[in-house]
Every structure is written in structure tokens, then in C-alpha cells.
Amino acid sequence: MLSVFRFLARWPLPLLHAVGWGLGWLAWLLAPDYRRRWFHHTALAGVRGRVRWASVGEAGKQVAELPRLWFGAPVPTGWEGAAHVEAALRHGQGILFLTPHLGCFEITAQAYAQRFGQALEPTPGTAAQPITVLFRPPRKAWAAEVLRTARERPGLATAPTTLAGVRQLIQALKQGQTVGLLPDQVPPEGLGVWAPFFGEPAYTMTLSVRFARTPGTQVLFIWGERKPWGRGYVVHVQPWDEVVAEPLADDMVQAATQINRAMERMVLRQPDQYLWGYARYKVPRKGL
């Protein structure tokens, strides 16, 4: 399987996106449960018309682009809001990146690692600061091998969704390092609270709130916009104050609600690139 990914990694990005668009529609047509979730979630958010239908193809692009991002040549990537990252690094702050299932979330960690995480060419005036991202290890052996190979790169480390992985991230933040996670991912039972997301209760991780409360940590929202026609990506960064406009609440449910609202605002900036078919409102599984 690894050889297949390496073969696809040589394809041009526009071709991969074209194939992915078709695969996205094929999955939508052939999977009734996925289709029902998509209808329900887009209706909750008030997403209609051309933008709503465009999200079907964009979901396929998100899968098809992975071989190129993991094993291929670098893709054109711009930044909007990089100054917020530079300011945090200059002040020696730890950074917590919060990223929704929006656009190409794989490119955000890669772009950060390339620009800020490597010791060879850090941004002038800042020290290189690697990033550690939380991810759920796949159950299939071939997928685990692909991910293990793909995500081994300078300036980028990974932590599994286990107690050891969580401790790894906590330690990184306490040491003033950079951490990234997707707070709209449904956590296991006991690691979240029920908080509204687009008006419907969703089991929401408390981990992002606990990380945000780590002293000396700067919370930044980040997402990767997929440009049309395979022309690359733009990484958008916004600080907490610009998105939430109020301090993080002391109450855990209120704080989780604040983060969910921030995710909503980011999603509605580019609703055609959100994964509306993701089972956001499912009942959490037991155990890590």
C-alpha cells in the first residue's frame, strides 16, 4: 500500500483534486448514512445552495490530496496571519493550535513545521520551535505504516490519542512548545462534555480547554484553505481574541461552548470545505 501512495504522490495536485472530486460524489451517492448526516449537518448550519453541494466534491479532494502531501514534492502554500505565530515565538510562549475539520488540516502542521519548526531556517527574530500534533492511530496495520512514514519530518512530531500521548502534549506545552489538535473531534467517553455545536448538543473534548488553560500558552486558531484548480493552499491564523472576543470561561461546559462557537465561525468562513459528513454528534466510544 505504501508503494501505491508513493505512486500517487507523483501526480500533479490538480489531477488528484479532480479525481478526489469524483470520489467525493461517488461516496455521497453510495453511502446513505453519510448522505443523511451531510443533509442534517448542513441544514443545522444553514448552509444551502451552491456552497452546500460544493462540499461533496471538496470532501473527496481532502482524501485524494493526502499522497501528495505525505510523500510528494512541496505544494505552494501561503500564509494569512503568520505574524501572530511570530509574536508568540518571540515572547517564548507555548502555542496551542486549534483546527476544525475544515479545508486541508494536514497542511497546517506541515506548513508550520517548514516555516517555524526547523532549526535550519527559522523566521528571523524567532527560535525554531517544533510542533507536536495529536492524532488517532489507525487500526489497520497498512494504514499505521503509511501514517508513521508520512508524518516523520523535521519540525513535526506526533502524539497518539492515549494517556501517554496526552501526557506528551501537556509536557510540551509546559515547556513552552507548540501543540496542535482538532477540538471538533469526538473524544472517548469521560473525556468530554455535551456542548452545542450549530445548535445541537455535541460531545466536545475537554482536552482543548485544559491545554488552553496551561500558563504561558497562546491559543491560535488555524486552518488550511484549499485553493481552486489545485493551485495550492493558504494557512489562516487568528488569535483567540479575534475569534471569541471574551476570556476563556472557568466553567468547563461554557468553555467548551466557546470553542465550539469559534469552530462554527471558522467553518462559516469557508463552509464548502468543511467535512459535513463527519459524525460530529455521535455517542462517544468507551475508553481511549
The enclosing H or E element of 234 equals: strand 233-239
Residue-wise pLDDT tens for the chain (288 aa)? Answer: 778 888 999 999 999 999 999 999 999 999 999 999 999 999 999 999 999 999 999 999 999 999 999 999 999 999 999 999 999 998 888 999 999 999 999 999 999 999 998 754 455 556 788 899 887 777 777 676 777 777 778 888 888 878 888 888 888 888 888 999 999 999 989 999 999 999 999 999 999 999 999 988 999 999 999 999 999 999 999 999 999 989 999 999 999 999 999 999 999 999 999 999 999 999 988 765
> pTM here?
0.92
For residues 106 and 103, what is the distance between their CA atoms, to the nearest angstrom? 9
The confidence score (pLDDT) of residue 287 equals: 62
* pLDDT given for residue 82 in this prediction: 96
> Are 158 and 181 a contacting pair, CB within 8 Å?
no
Look at residue 54 in the predicted model and tell me its pLDDT.
Answer: 98
Q: What are the cell numbers at 2?
A: 505504501
pLDDT of residue 120: 44
* Degrees to nearest 5, angle at CA 38 with 35 and 40: 110
pLDDT at 285: 81
* Whole-number Å distance between alpha carbons of 28 and 109: 28
Q: How far is CA 57 from CA 25, 26, 107, 182, 279, in A?
A: 6, 9, 18, 22, 18
Instruction: Provide the 3-class DSSP secondary structure of residue 165.
Output: helix
